[in-house]
């Protein structure tokens, strides 16, 4: 075993010029800041300032490590009909469909919640679809994702069927977690969705562990071709939490194949990011731990996708983690119980105008990649999928009593030995669910 | 010579005549109908050996109290070692057996573990398999959990159990509950281990007993080792278990010496250990207090009492069978623990005994625990926070008068 893991990894220098080693396609992460003149519908990368007196946000650091300007420089895939575009038609349709699925599903959730079909805390993802689609559609099935309580769309993008997610939300036994998890705990072993966590920051170490397994399999178990990557999604509020920093350190230290994706939607329930954070530019925290930090417009799925490609490939090549800050916005309140009174209507309008779905649609239509009719067909198809998911969830059975004790332990001998000398799990009351544990 | 027949077809224990610290037969693992893996043997009440469905162990293992020389002619030679070495042996055997077993913790690698439980393992298995982590308990515990979900079998070492308070979030929410909230999709086969308990003037924060805090977490198992023999056996069992297991070691017990068998053995996580069979009173204990109890037992025997001492070993769940049979025999229970009085293991055990065996009790269950006091540094004060043998003797005398 080499001592590689114990070498101190030097943090990347902050103020270097164009001497960085470049990947064949030109490095995504440039130390320079150039104003983009992109042909994309979404606007610039400048960190938005919602309050005029937020001098904090105005602070510019000379140590700009990475801003994604790659759009101009990166060579697009060869595309015979549309040589200058970043996506092919098939890719465009895939992205569109995924985002429409996310949006329709969440809208349906809101309806179902107000009709009393689901309860508790439900956090909807409307407006942030570009991040989920932009990243997750680049993954293989074996790659893992970890999310927070705002996890419905991450699960859908990763491939968990809409009916399984809807059933889970209805608390039915056909749900992806047998109804035992709920809105905030979406898990899927088949699709490598490692949760769904209610406490913020809690999932980041779990994601780090999944990345550790990937490295372990390659280096200890000698599965040389194991290049599985893990994505950890979390918000701006989480970036002030210890687990975030501890995991940035460990991931960079051991060069784990992980991408930390910050969905900075500026609000943690009612706490503005600017009121909670001493230095609100989250991407800058990456270089402090020795990994690239990138800021990208999270309302533009194509930009997110380009950044994601590079970050994921970096991880696959074994070069270590990346911190990607996606500037995004949630159109709805924090949860369905949130009256959402604190946010400025003009801020909401500003981002509503940058709806990622409208933006992608406009891009594809203007560049003659697809026709309006094809997009309409997708929307109709998704409507049917979501309707079907609701029907499926409606007719699915509620969990029976016998399900109560089944999954407490993987090995049910953990319930112990009863007074009669037999393992308590052998008691028929256990399978019935009526035993007291 | 009395014979206690425990359970249907599973095991029987032969008790020796008079002296409490002469050779004892060790009770084998219990057999579950569908279970095939653990090493075990069945001892019938007439003394004949009968192997169970798993034909691995055919020998009689006698278990002496730690310092006593063992002179049974039926014992294989075995080898002598200290408790921390027994833990290491168990760990190493499991790492050899399964390449997915790895260790994570502070100073477990190059330093060899602050109590030398992982000594030289990093040289043998490499820096990734015996991972020196930064000082970030919550995160590396979470990392181990993520690794367990994706196929590895990590062992998390808390340099001192008390440090795992920082990992409570991950232990409670993810370790304990994740198997359930994922609908059974992900298993978390982690072992969380480390030294805890009151040491020699280590101060309040290094003298904590976390078993009381963790016991309510659903989905985890807790065991406490007390001898080199059960330390190795429980370590191996914990690593092989699909459930998350917390293995409590004690700072003061690491240098206990005992002769343990050469052949491989795995103990049962859910079983208690009969230390000294008796007739008059059942004394339930675990970890270091076992030794205070045995010391008190010497005095008690001289005074004419016959205490039955059981090391409960499994703190969660309780082995209600061994405990129940004892209660049914003696009708009196004394619990001696190092945990705090409030909400400790003893409190739960008292409730469990009252609930299940109330009809068999001739007297209320008495529980001797540590005082609800932050462990003081001063030696005299520290001594008074923990249960001492004299108190045990007094309690037995009161219960048995």
For residues B90 and A268, what is the distance between their CA atoms, to the nearest angstrom? 47
- Nearest Cα of chain A lies from the Cα of B168 at a distance, in angstroms, of 11
Provide the CB-side half-sphere exposure for B320 (13 A, CA). Answer: 24
CB of B174 closer than 8 Å to CB of A202: yes
For residues B317 and B215, what is the distance between their CA atoms, to the nearest angstrom? 9
Is the Cβ pair B133, A250 closer than 8 Å?
Answer: yes
Say which residues have a Cβ less than 8 Å from residue A325's Cβ, sequence separation at least 6. Answer: A262, A264, A281, A282, A283, A293, A294, A295, A296
Comparing alpha-carbon positions, the chain B residue that sits nearest to A179 is: B183
- CB contacts of B138 in chain A (<8 Å) are 205, 242-243, 246
Provide the CB-side half-sphere exposure for B360 (13 A, CA). Answer: 19
- Positions of CATH 3.40.50.920 in chain B: 273-400
For the domain spanning B2-13+76-260, the CATH number is 3.40.50.970
- CB contacts of B173 in chain A (<8 Å) are 197-199, 202
Q: Which of A14, A121, A3 is nearest to A63 (CA)?
A: A14
- Positions of CATH 3.40.50.970 in chain B: 2-13+76-260
For residues B223 and B211, what is the distance between their CA atoms, to the nearest angstrom? 9
The pLDDT tens digits of the residues spanning B363-377 come to 999 999 999 999 999
Average pLDDT rounded to a whole number, residues B8-30: 38
Q: Which residues pair with B192 in a beta bridge?
A: B156, B246
Any idea which fold B273-400 has?
Rossmann fold (3.40.50)
For residues B397 and B389, what is the distance between their CA atoms, to the nearest angstrom? 12
CB of B1 closer than 8 Å to CB of B47: no
Q: Which B residues in the span 221-250 are in contact with A, Cβ-Cβ below 8 Å?
A: 221, 241-243
For residues A55 and A53, what is the distance between their CA atoms, to the nearest angstrom? 6
pLDDT for A399: 96
List chain A domain ranges: 83-344+354-395, 401-437
Q: What is the pTM of this model?
A: 0.83
Question: One of B26, B179, B206, B292 is an active-site residue; which one?
Answer: B206
Confirm whether the ipTM is greater than 0.85.
no
| Helix H or strand E segment including B340 | strand B333-340
Comparing alpha-carbon positions, the chain B residue that sits nearest to A218 is: B128
pLDDT for B29: 41
- CB contacts of B31 in chain A (<8 Å) are none
Backbone phi, then psi, for B245, in 5-degree steps? -125, 135
Structure-model confidence comparison of residues B24 and A158, the more confident one: A158
Backbone phi, then psi, for B137, in 5-degree steps? -55, -45
- Nearest Cα of chain A lies from the Cα of B186 at a distance, in angstroms, of 7
For residues B83 and B257, what is the distance between their CA atoms, to the nearest angstrom? 6
Strand, coil or helix: A250: helix
Say which residues have a Cβ less than 8 Å from residue A78's Cβ, sequence separation at least 6. Answer: none
- Nearest Cα of chain B lies from the Cα of A246 at a distance, in angstroms, of 6
CB of A75 closer than 8 Å to CB of A93: no
pLDDT for B199: 94
Number of Cβ within 10 Å of residue A358's Cβ equals 13
Distance of CA A252 to the CA centre of its chain: 20
Cβ of residue B167 closer than 8 Å to a chain A Cβ: no
Cβ of residue B172 closer than 8 Å to a chain A Cβ: no
**Confidence class for position B152, pLDDT limits 50, 70, 90:** very high
**Confidence class for position B401, pLDDT limits 50, 70, 90:** confident
For residues A163 and A46, what is the distance between their CA atoms, to the nearest angstrom? 39
Say which residues have a Cβ less than 8 Å from residue B278's Cβ, sequence separation at least 6. Answer: B20, B305, B306, B307, B308, B309, B330
pLDDT for A428: 86
- CB contacts of A420 in chain B (<8 Å) are 7, 321
Q: Which of A210, A220, A415 sits opposite B146 (nearest CB)?
A: A210
- Nearest Cα of chain B lies from the Cα of A278 at a distance, in angstroms, of 23
For residues B130 and B105, what is the distance between their CA atoms, to the nearest angstrom? 8
pLDDT for B61: 32
Structure-model confidence comparison of residues B320 and A79, the more confident one: B320
pLDDT for B55: 38
Say which residues have a Cβ less than 8 Å from residue A8's Cβ, sequence separation at least 6. Answer: none
Low-confidence ranges of chain A (pLDDT < 50): 1-76, 78-79
Is the Cβ pair B127, A194 closer than 8 Å?
Answer: no
Q: Which of B170, B242, B322 sits opposite A410 (nearest CB)?
A: B242
Q: Which of B375, B388, B338, B372 is nearest to B201 (CA)?
A: B375
pLDDT for A45: 40
For residues B273 and B26, what is the distance between their CA atoms, to the nearest angstrom? 8
- CB contacts of B355 in chain A (<8 Å) are none
If you count them, how many residues does chain B have? 401
- Nearest Cα of chain B lies from the Cα of A389 at a distance, in angstroms, of 19
Say which residues have a Cβ less than 8 Å from residue A368's Cβ, sequence separation at least 6. Answer: A82
Say which residues have a Cβ less than 8 Å from residue A89's Cβ, sequence separation at least 6. Answer: A369, A370
Backbone phi, then psi, for B359, in 5-degree steps? -65, -20
The pLDDT of residue B289 is above 70:
yes
Strand, coil or helix: B11: strand
Task: Tell me the C-alpha to C-alpha distance, in Å, between residue A369 and each of A77, A303, A357.
Answer: 14, 17, 15
Provide the CB-side half-sphere exposure for B7 (13 A, CA). Answer: 27
Q: Which of A5, A181, A413 sits opposite B270 (nearest CB)?
A: A413
pLDDT for A85: 82
Number of Cβ within 10 Å of residue A192's Cβ equals 22
Q: Which B residues in the span 344-363 are in contact with A, Cβ-Cβ below 8 Å?
A: 356-357
Average pLDDT, chain B: 85
Task: Tell me the C-alpha to C-alpha distance, in Å, between residue B362 and each of A17, A324, B201, B261, B332.
Answer: 84, 68, 39, 40, 6
Any idea which fold A83-344+354-395 has?
Rossmann fold (3.40.50)
Strand, coil or helix: A67: strand
A381-A383-A384-A385 Cα dihedral, nearest 10 degrees: 90
pLDDT for B76: 62
Say which residues have a Cβ less than 8 Å from residue A318's Cβ, sequence separation at least 6. Answer: A218, A227, A255, A257
Q: Which of A59, A70, A60 is nearest to A28 (CA)?
A: A70
Q: Which residues pair with B248 in a beta bridge?
A: B194, B224
């Amino acid at each position: 075993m080499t001592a590689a893991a114990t070498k101190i990894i030097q943090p990347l220098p902050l103020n270097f010029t164009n001497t960085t080693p470049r990947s064949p396609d030109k490095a995504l992460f440039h130390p320079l800041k150039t104003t983009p003149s992109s042909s994309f519908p979404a606007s610039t990368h400048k960190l938005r300032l919602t309050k005029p007196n937020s001098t904090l946000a105005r602070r510019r650091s000379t140590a700009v490590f990475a801003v994604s300007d790659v759009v101009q420089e990166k060579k697009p895939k060869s595309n015979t009909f549309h040589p200058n575009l970043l996506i092919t038609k098939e890719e465009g349709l895939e992205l569109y469909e995924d985002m429409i699925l996310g949006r329709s599903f969440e809208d349906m959730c809101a309806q179902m919640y107000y009709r009393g079909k689901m309860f508790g805390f439900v956090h909807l993802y409307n407006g942030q679809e570009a991040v989920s689609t932009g990243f997750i559609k680049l993954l293989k099935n074996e790659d893992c994702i970890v999310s927070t309580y705002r996890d419905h769309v991450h699960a859908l993008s990763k491939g968990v069927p809409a009916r399984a997610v809807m059933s889970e939300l209805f608390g039915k036994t056909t749900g992806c977690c047998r109804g035992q998890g709920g809105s905030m705990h979406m898990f899927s072993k088949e699709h490598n969705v490692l949760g769904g966590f209610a406490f913020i920051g809690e999932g980041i170490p779990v994601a780090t562990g999944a990345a550790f397994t990937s490295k372990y399999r390659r280096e200890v178990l000698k599965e040389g071709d194991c290049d599985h990557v893990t994505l950890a999604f979390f918000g701006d509020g989480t970036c002030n939490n210890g687990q975030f920093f501890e995991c940035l350190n460990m991931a960079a230290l051991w060069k784990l194949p992980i991408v930390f994706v910050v969905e900075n939607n500026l609000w943690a329930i009612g706490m503005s990011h600017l009121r909670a954070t001493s230095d609100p530019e989250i991407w800058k925290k990456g270089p402090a731990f020795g990994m690239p930090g990138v800021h990208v417009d999270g309302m533009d799925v194509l930009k997110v996708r380009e950044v994601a490609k590079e970050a994921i490939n970096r991880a696959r090549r074994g070069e270590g983690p990346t911190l990607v800050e996606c500037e995004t916005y949630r159109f709805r309140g924090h949860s369905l119980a949130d009256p959402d009174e604190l946010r400025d209507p003009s801020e909401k309008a500003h981002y509503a105008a940058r709806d990622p779905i409208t933006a992608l649609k406009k891009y594809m239509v203007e560049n003659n990649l697809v026709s309006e009719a094809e997009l309409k067909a997708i929307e109709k198809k998704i409507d049917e999928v979501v309707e079907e998911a609701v029907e499926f969830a409606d007719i699915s059975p509620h969990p029976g009593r016998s399900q109560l004790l089944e999954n407490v332990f993987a090995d049910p001998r953990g319930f112990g030995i009863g007074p009669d000398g037999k393992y308590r799990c052998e008691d028929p009351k256990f399978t019935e669910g009526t035993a007291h544990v | 010579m009395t014979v206690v027949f425990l359970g249907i077809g599973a095991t029987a224990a032969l008790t020796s005549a008079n002296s409490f610290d002469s050779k004892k037969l060790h009770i084998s693992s219990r057999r579950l109908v569908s279970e095939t893996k653990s090493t075990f043997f069945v001892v019938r009440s007439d003394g004949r050996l009968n192997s169970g469905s798993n034909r691995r162990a055919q020998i009689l293992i006698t278990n002496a109290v730690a310092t006593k020389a063992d002179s049974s002619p039926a014992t294989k030679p075995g080898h002598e070692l200290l408790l921390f070495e027994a833990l290491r042996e168990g760990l190493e055997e499991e790492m050899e057996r399964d390449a997915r077993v790895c260790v994570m913790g502070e100073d477990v690698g190059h330093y060899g573990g602050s109590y030398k439980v992982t000594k030289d393992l990093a040289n043998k298995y490499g820096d990734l398999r015996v991972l020196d982590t930064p000082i970030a308990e919550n995160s590396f515990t979470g990392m181990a959990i993520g690794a367990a979900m994706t196929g590895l079998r990590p062992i998390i070492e808390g340099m001192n159990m008390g440090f795992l308070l920082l990992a409570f979030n991950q232990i409670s929410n993810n370790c304990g509950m994740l198997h359930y909230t994922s609908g059974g999709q992900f298993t978390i086969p982690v072992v969380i281990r480390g030294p805890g308990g009151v040491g020699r003037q280590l101060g309040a924060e290094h003298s904590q007993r976390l078993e009381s805090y963790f016991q309510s977490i659903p989905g985890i198992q807790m065991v406490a080792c007390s001898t080199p023999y059960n330390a190795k056996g429980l370590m191996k069992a914990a690593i092989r278990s699909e459930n998350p297991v917390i293995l409590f070691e004690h700072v003061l017990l690491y240098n206990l010496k005992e002769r343990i068998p050469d052949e491989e053995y795995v103990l049962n996580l859910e079983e208690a250990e009969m230390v000294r069979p008796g007739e008059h009173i059942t004394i339930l204990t675990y970890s270091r207090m076992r030794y205070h109890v045995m010391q008190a037992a010497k005095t008690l025997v001289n005074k004419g009492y016959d205490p039955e001492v059981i090391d409960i070993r499994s703190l969660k769940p309780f082995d209600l069978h061994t405990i129940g049979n004892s209660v049914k025999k003696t009708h009196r229970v004394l619990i001696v623990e190092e945990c705090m009085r409030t909400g400790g293991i003893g409190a739960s055990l008292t409730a469990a005994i009252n609930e299940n065996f109330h009809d068999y009790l001739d007297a209320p269950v008495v529980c001797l625990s540590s005082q609800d006091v932050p462990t003081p540094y001063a030696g005299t004060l520290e001594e008074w926070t923990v249960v001492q043998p004299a108190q045990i003797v007094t309690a037995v005398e009161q219960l048995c008068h």
